[in-house]
Amino acid sequence: MTRFVDVPTMSNLVQEIGVPQFIGELANTIRDDFVNWSEFEMSARVANHSEIGVIELMPVSNARRYAFKYVNGHPKNTQRGMYTVMAFGVLAEVDTGYPVLLSELTIATALRTSATSLMAARALARPNSKRMALIGNGAQSEFQALAFHHHLGIEEIAVFDVDPAATDKLIANLSAFPSIRIVRAKSTADAVRGSDIVTTVTADKAYATIITPDMIEPGMHLNAVGGDCPGKTELHADVLRTGRVFVEYEPQTRIEGDIQQMPAGFPVVDLWRVLADTLPGREHDQQVTIFDSVGFALEDYSTLRYINDQAEKRNLGAGVELVPWGEQDDDNDPKDLFRYTRQSKAKRSIRRAA
């Protein structure tokens, strides 16, 4: 049977583990897989674009497991009462092709994005960073705030969004974590001023310049999360020239990241090489480091692997017959698919996962 983790089950799983612990453990899981980068077969995601959004498939595999994520990005969805990003994913055995997990990934993608940001900042930001600017206070923002506060020692977060209601929501949600000092900024420049780390998580599908060169201070680490498809950026091109730029999977980031503005030969550093200690990350305290984050399939592989392990440990999720299950009985003939057209084989099968 395939383990099925729906939205209520994921919510229960996150509550049992706790958001900060979930993010920290997931960051470690993603890092482990990045260090073993050469073991994976990878490709840029397959994307179908429209004028108002994008739908993508993100596959990756190693010798043991295959994973893919279905995900969309439609910024105007919020006007319809829907989320901008929605996703689900599958984890399967390479030996048989059997899907072992079908999981919601909308909530999990927010957790994995913050975990990836944390993983990168641990390697690239200045030690003892204390203040972060958080530009864009939508669905991703609380997760980013908790990741950097609980696991990187950020004490003060200056927040700004062009939509004041989004900032109201963020401040209300983070009030449950009184150890975080939240400062409501008047503008992007006001939030960025004096920050050790700048995180941008804006959603508009546009060539935007949320961060401009005049905002950059020596030693900053920029965590640019929102620019993640062709025609969508957050950083002015000259910002990219001020520091050292790190990417997840270069062929994909060249198309989707903020570096889509730059010429083909513009130098970037593979983050996995820094994590594997084959290339340096930050070279000195005054250097500006930029993580041009677009989200990569390996991070979703790690997330599905973590979800499956944690759900199995807690006996969460239902067992569903997503594909025909080979029962061990006299009636089982793996060459006879037509038998499922008979009523005896057409029963709906859902049960708690073992």
The CA angle 165-227-269, to the nearest 5 degrees, is 140
Choosing from 161, 196, 228, 270, the catalytic residue is 228
Beta-carbon count within 10 A of 244 CB: 16
User: Is 161 among the residues known to form the active site?
Assistant: no
Cα–Cα distance measured from residue 300 to residue 104, given in angstroms and rounded to the nearest whole number: 11
What is the number of other CB atoms lying within 10 angstroms of the CB of residue 337? Answer: 10
d(CA 86, CA 71): 6
Which residues are 49's β-sheet partners?
54
DSSP label at residue 168: H
- Beta strands per DSSP E along 140-190: 156-160, 181-184
Gap between the Cα atoms of 72 and 97, Å rounded: 25
Torsion of CA 76, 78, 80, 82, to 10 degrees: 110
DSSP string, 280-299: -S--STT--EEEE----HHH
Tell me the two tokens of residue 334. 């793996």
Task: Please give the Cα distance from 243 to 197 (Å, whole number).
Answer: 14
- Rounded Cα distance between 334 and 325, Å, is 9
Q: Quote the distance between the C-alpha of residue 326 and its chain's center.
A: 35
Angle between helices 106-124 and 7-17 (to 10 degrees): 40
Positions marked active-site:
228
